[in-house]
A = this chain, B = another copy of it.
């Protein structure tokens, strides 16, 4: 049975029928492209994902990375895939044309990444990390750093990591202890221990570029004392040639529940395992200025978090399609009223199986819509001017914690439903759905946990922002509701549009009301403010569901009268989400409105 991993039909629907990505071609930034180049890039991603990534999804799990005390060994298929990705130009596809890149919109790039993650998220992670590291150096590094590190990253000769966490400083980076001692030659020597570093060692590339957060001597305590350094595995000479081994080695690797193919490491810097230039200490190159490490790292975090969202979405999508294919082929039971002598029917005939499939569809297609919408916002921020660009950037900031967290929660739920559709078979390693479920559980943890996203959304993106970006979002949701309210056509369509508009507007009003009232509390009452922030996760989940409902009404508007399966399926999934999911928001907003202090007032000793 050939199983689909992602729907090219849905990708086209979202990118072109709904978001009209082809209109980007009219903007100078994307004028060198055409609808045909978009199509051929997407097709290339699909082909590569199917041929080079999907076949070793299980092998990545069964033969996880091994560390012999010196080096890390991955299965060779990972290297083949990562090289094919680079050779096909995907590392450079999104870079500006003036830097030798493809200048492709992120909208298209994100769709490509969705293919790779759907096929094999653990392998896709290596290229994602290289792109993120290269983008950071390109944006914040010197010309020399771009030449020596960003270019080889873009070519696939080097790979990248982001080394933030330490054993005693994970979610709380303020306490990180790695020290960076300035040297006479302008470099630094780094000493410390990092943990949870994906791709922290392997033989996939000539060199590995670690982007390391560390503290300079006499740096301010807390996050303002953190600087960012390039720490290569092998030193790089001015002419780009590789030199000595740097003093960064692994203390060990972590063994994960899923996403095993992405080696996860505990690097040690400067313990003297190597002595570059005759002395211990990992040689590092400062990026930007001293003390700017966290802002620089976080400037790249929006795209990294969007990457996590795409991964979670794609893994959910792959599980959905596998369970759908299974359900269509699996004969079991009969319709109500049939006799035992009648042949058994596909389990798609059973309402509860349909419920589980439709729920998955509403989650994964809703999440993919969100990912593409955010990608488009980033394209807009880059390719529009003035007010419009600023609005796109503000909305990106607001939606990013949702894009990070919503798929991690709900596409994981989709993966659980996929297992349930297969029943006992789904619980075995004979099918991919159990691995998807394990792979996807990572996405609520890395790049900022679920709870951290909630604090970011409510604290920074809504309250500190004074509700400015939220206002922009509400304007867009309201506009969608007004279009749904005003649809013409058969009464059956008109009444659905009016119902969706009313439900969407009612919940949006409630969000605005609650956001305003808690904003008043936090402004005037520190204890009340703490109680409000304690409900940040509820706020995150409420706004997440409202945003996905909005995007389902958007999709419904495009699909509302089509008589083909694609459009009928979109309508069914929209109806599922509007009737089964959107109502959950009311309760979550009630909790935020009440901010009853249950957790802030709790004595943890009674747990």
Interface residues of A (CB under 8 A from B): 165, 168-172, 174-175, 195-196, 221-222, 254-258, 324, 327-328, 331-334, 336-337, 339-341, 344, 346, 348-358, 361, 416, 419-420, 423-424, 426-430, 434, 437-438, 441-442, 444-446, 449-451, 454-455, 526, 530, 533-534, 536-537, 565-566, 568-569, 572, 575-576, 579-580, 583-584, 587, 590-591, 594, 596, 598-600, 602-607
Contacts and interface: CB of A to CB of B under 8 A. Distances in A.
Contacts of A174: 333, 340
Given A420-B445, A587-B583, A599 B257 contact: no
Interface centre among A165, A346, A355 (most CB of B within 10 A): A355
The 8 A-B pairs of least Cβ separation, nearest first, read A351-B534, A222-B340, A348-B604, A221-B340, A352-B451, A569-B606, A172-B333, A257-B434
A584 B590 CA distance: 12
A interface majority secondary structure = helix
B591 A580 contact: yes
| From A172, A255, A420, residue with most partner B Cβ within 10 Å | A172
A532 to B, nearest CB: 10
Given A572-B606, A598-B579, A168 B332 contact: yes
A449 B422 CA distance: 11
A340 B587 CA distance: 36
A595 to B, nearest CB: 10
Given A572-B606, A584-B584, A606-B569, A341 B537 contact: no
A341, A423, A565, A568 interface centre (most CB from chain B within 10 Å): A423
Contact of A420 (B333, B355, B449): B449
B354 A429 contact: no
Given A168-B344, A352-B599, 16 more contacts: A171-B423, A172-B333, A175-B332, A175-B344, A255-B429, A256-B427, A355-B599, A358-B602, A416-B441, A423-B449, A427-B442, A565-B603, A566-B606, A569-B606, A572-B598, A579-B598
